[in-house]
Amino acid sequence: MDIIWFDSIDSTNKEAIRRIDTAGDFTVLAAVYQTSGRGQKGTSWESSPGKNLTFSIILKPDAIRAENQFIISQIVALGVASYLKKLAIEAKIKWPNDIYIGDKKICGILIENFIEGANLSASIAGIGLNVNQEIFESDAPNPTSVKIITGVEKDLKTELESLVSSIYDIYYSYRSFGSGNLSEKISHQYHESLYRLDEFHTYEETPGGRRFSGRIVGINSNACLVIEKEDSSTSEYAFKEIKYIL
């Protein structure tokens, strides 16, 4: 794998887009500081300079059909969770791909997919993992970090190598052996790692604001979240159609 570090850059995802035609598969672009880091749907990502891991991975998988593109989100999220497990931190995946420790967010993931014909031609996985930051000044309601949880200061370059290796292992197993049983295994692992799986909690439909109690039972073939309500009916939600009430 190829890891390129920047002292400062606007956004590693933006740089990945600029390099997408020439970069090789699994090129990693990491920044000590991003001036305009982004989260899902254009939200900002708070990160003190030199405290956290902010990076993007350029992926160029072979023969993933466009309708199966969510496998990239699953692979990346499971890779982050696997890395945290090495640190004795038990992580869950808040659908579609935030990483939670208990009810606190430690990592955000932004996936941008590029389609050519019927297949996925490339993906950019932008990842922000809170490592050494202990004070958060934004209005994000529930951040945490590796340092807060473990009390240990980490070397960012060492941790980046460990983290991307965890993602690499899952990605290249899938890339080398194709879909089929391995795809089902990844989807099963993702399902079992879901935050709030099989637990009743309060959710809010958006737009509209109607709140209800339900439990997450999985995701459907379109990567929508499936929630069973107290009356045993189920509803399916695309991204930003449902809000978790913490």
Q: What is the pLDDT of residues 33-70, one digit of tens each?
A: 998 775 544 455 567 889 999 999 999 998 799 999 99
For the chain, residues classed under CATH 2.30.30.100 are 200-244
Q: What is the pLDDT of residues 194-229, one digit of tens each?
A: 999 999 999 999 999 999 999 999 999 999 999 999
- In this prediction the pTM is 0.94
Q: Which amino acid is at 48?
A: S
CATH of 2-192, one of 2.40.160.20, 3.30.930.10, 3.40.50.150, 3.40.50.300: 3.30.930.10
CATH of 200-244, one of 2.30.30.90, 1.10.357.140, 2.30.30.100, 3.30.300.30: 2.30.30.100
What is the residue whose two structure tokens read 């439990």?
A: 215
For the chain, residues classed under CATH 3.30.930.10 are 2-192
Please, which residues have CB within 8 angstroms of residue 105's CB and are 6 or more apart in sequence?
A: 94, 98, 99, 140, 142, 143, 144
